Structure 1
Amino acid sequence: MPLAIAHRGASAHATENTLNAFELASDLGAQMWELDTQLTKDGVCVVSHDDHLERVFGVDMHISAMTASELANRPGVNVPTFAEVAALARRREAGLYVELKAAGTGIPAWRELAKHGQSFAVLGSFNPAFVRELRGAGCRWPLSVLVPLGKDPHEAGEEADADIVHLCWERGGTRPQDLVTQELCRLAREAGREIVLWHEERPEVIADLVRLPVLGICSDAPELLKAGVGGSINA
C-alpha cells in the first residue's frame, strides 16, 4: 500500500513544519513526514518551506539573515531545527521525506540522519543539482527529484540520478490521477525508480490514487490517506 506522507506535517490542522504538526501527523496515521529545509546565517539546517517568515509567522525577516539563536528566540516564530525534527521522528518511529529548499542543506541533513542510523528517510529536491550533490558524496539514502507539471518525469529522474520521481501534479485538473498512466508507471519501474505523488486533499481523487502502484502519497490531511487505503472513502 502507498505510504501516507504528511505534507509539512498535518498542515491542514496545525502550523506547517512545526513539531506540533509532525506530532499530529503521526497521531493521524502518517508513516512519513514531508518537510522543507532552510539554512540559518550561521549554517544550521532548520525546517521551513520559506526563507522569509512573513507567510507563516507574519514576521518580515529572512531565516538566512538570522543566526540559529536569533531564530529560536524570535517571539511568535516557531521554526525547529532539522536535528529536533529528526529526533522527534525517531521517538515516533516516523520516516522523514526531506525536500531540500536551500542550497547547502543536503549534506548537513544527511549527516544528521547518518549520525543516528536513521535510515527511514528520503532526501530530494526540485533542483537536480542538490540531488546529484548527495549522490556524488556517497549518500546511500533514497534520493528523490520533484517534478513540476509539464516536465517529463523520466528525463527529470535521469538528470538528477534519482531513485524516486515525485510528481507535483496537484494542479493537473479535476482528475490529476489520470496523468499517472500505466505507461508512466511501467517506464519508472523499468528504470528502477519508485513514484511518489503530490499532496492531495480531495477524497474522490485519493480513492483512485491509493490504487496506483506508487511508493507514497502526500497530504496536508494524512487521515484522508489512511481512510482511502482502508476503503472508507469513495469516489
Structure 2
Amino acid sequence: MDVSRLDLWPARRPGGRPSSIAHRGASAYRTENTLAAFSHAAALGADMWEIDLHLTADGVPVISHDASTAHVFGIDRMIAETTAADLAAAVPDLPTFRAVVDLARELDQALYVEVKARGAGRVGMALLDEWGFGAAVFGSFNHDEVRDMAAAGSRFPLSVLVRSGEDPFAAAYETGAGIVHLCWERAAPAPQTLVTPALLASAAEKELGVVLWHEERNPVLADLVGLPVLGICSNCPELVTLSRAELLAAQRKDPLHER
C-alpha cells in the first residue's frame, strides 16, 4: 500500500481545517501522556493524540516521552530496564499502549505515535494489526526507525520528524516517509513564516503531507490554522479548533495571554 497517499490520514479534519493533535494529550492541563491527559484532550475537541512509545525490559510498549519516569512522575525508573509489572506497580499512572488504544477507540480518537525506542515501531504496528485499530500514524526523529517501519511494509502512514535546519524533503526521501513533521517552534521568533507557500507547494508536488509543531501562541496559530496541512500539535488542543478570527479576538482580550 502506498502510505504516502494523503487520503490515508486517519484523523478528522472538520471543514478541511488541520486536525487538532493533542501533544502528549492536553498536556497544558493534565500530566502529560496519561489517560487523564488524553481524556481531557478529547473533551476539548482534539481529533488525534500525539503519544510517545517506549518498550519495557520485557518488550511491553508503554507511553512516555522520556526514557525515565523521574521527570514526570518523580519516581526514577528506566523504562527499558524495568519489567511492565514492576513499572505498573511503581508508576501506576504511566499507561500501556494497550490502555491508550482502548481509550482512543472508546473516545473516537486517532493516534499519532512517535517512536522513541529502537524497534518499538514494528512492535506497535503489529499490535495495532492484532487489536484491529487502524486510525494511527507512526513517526520518529530517528531516521533508521522510520526506514525500518517502511521496510516492514507499514500499512500506516509514516512521518519523519524534522528539526530546524534539516531539509524535510531529503528526510522524507531518505526514510520513505509520506509525511514531514516540521518541529520548528523555536526556529524563529515567528516560526509560521518558515512554512512558506513554496514549501507547501513542493510538499504537494511530491505528494507529501505536512504536520506542524506543537504551538500554543495565539498569533502564531492564527497564521497556521488556515494552511493546507494535515494537523497541528498543541498542548492546548482546543486552540487548533478555533478560526483565525477567534484566535486573534482571544488575543486582543488578553494581550498577555501565553500558554
Q: What interval of TM-score do these two structures reach, taking the shorter chain for normalisation?
A: over 0.9
In structure 1, C-alpha distance between the alignment counterparts of 2:93 and 2:148, rounded to whole Å: 29
1:163-202 alignment, distance < 5 Å: 163-202=178-217
In structure 2, C-alpha distance between the alignment counterparts of 1:166 and 1:20, rounded to whole Å: 26
Partner of 2:58: 42
1:206-221 alignment, distance < 5 Å: 206-221=221-236
Partner of 2:247: 233
User: TM-score under structure 1 normalisation?
Assistant: 0.96
Q: CA deviation at 1:227?
A: 2.1
Query: What do the CA deviations read for 1:119-171 (whole angstroms, capped 9, x no partner)?
Result: 21100000111111111111111000000011011111111110100000010
Q: CA deviation at 1:233?
A: 1.3
In structure 2, C-alpha distance between the alignment counterparts of 1:118 and 1:192, rounded to whole Å: 25
User: TM-score under structure 2 normalisation?
Assistant: 0.87
RMSD over aligned CA atoms reads 1.2
Q: CA deviation at 1:173?
A: 2.3
Listed as ranges, the gaps of 5+ residues in structure 2 are 1-16, 252-259
In structure 2, C-alpha distance between the alignment counterparts of 1:123 and 1:199, rounded to whole Å: 17
The answer to whether the Cα contact below 8 Å between 2:159 and 2:178 also exists between their aligned partners in 1 is yes
Count of aligned positions: 233
Amino acid aligned to 2:85: S
Q: Secondary structure at 1:73's aligned position in 2?
A: helix
Listed as ranges, the gaps of 5+ residues in structure 1 are none
In structure 2, C-alpha distance between the alignment counterparts of 1:228 and 1:201, rounded to whole Å: 14
Query: What do the CA deviations read for 1:55-74 (whole angstroms, capped 9, x no partner)?
Result: 10112221111100000011
Identity over aligned residues, as a percent?
Answer: 52
Partner of 1:135: 150
Decide which of 12, 18, 31 is 1:2's aligned counterpart.
Answer: 18
2:36 is the alignment partner of 1:24? no
In structure 1, C-alpha distance between the alignment counterparts of 2:106 and 2:137, rounded to whole Å: 18
Q: CA deviation at 1:77?
A: 4.8
In structure 2, C-alpha distance between the alignment counterparts of 1:165 and 1:228, rounded to whole Å: 24
In structure 1, C-alpha distance between the alignment counterparts of 2:236 and 2:22, rounded to whole Å: 7
In structure 2, C-alpha distance between the alignment counterparts of 1:42 and 1:49, rounded to whole Å: 19
In structure 2, C-alpha distance between the alignment counterparts of 1:117 and 1:217, rounded to whole Å: 26
The answer to whether the Cα contact below 8 Å between 1:125 and 1:146 also exists between their aligned partners in 2 is yes
In structure 1, C-alpha distance between the alignment counterparts of 2:46 and 2:79, rounded to whole Å: 28
Q: CA deviation at 1:226?
A: 1.4
In structure 1, C-alpha distance between the alignment counterparts of 2:26 and 2:153, rounded to whole Å: 32
Q: Secondary structure at 2:102's aligned position in 1?
A: helix
In structure 2, C-alpha distance between the alignment counterparts of 1:121 and 1:49, rounded to whole Å: 18
The answer to whether the Cα contact below 8 Å between 1:203 and 1:228 also exists between their aligned partners in 2 is no
The answer to whether the Cα contact below 8 Å between 1:206 and 1:228 also exists between their aligned partners in 2 is no
Decide which of 126, 131, 136 is 1:111's aligned counterpart.
Answer: 126
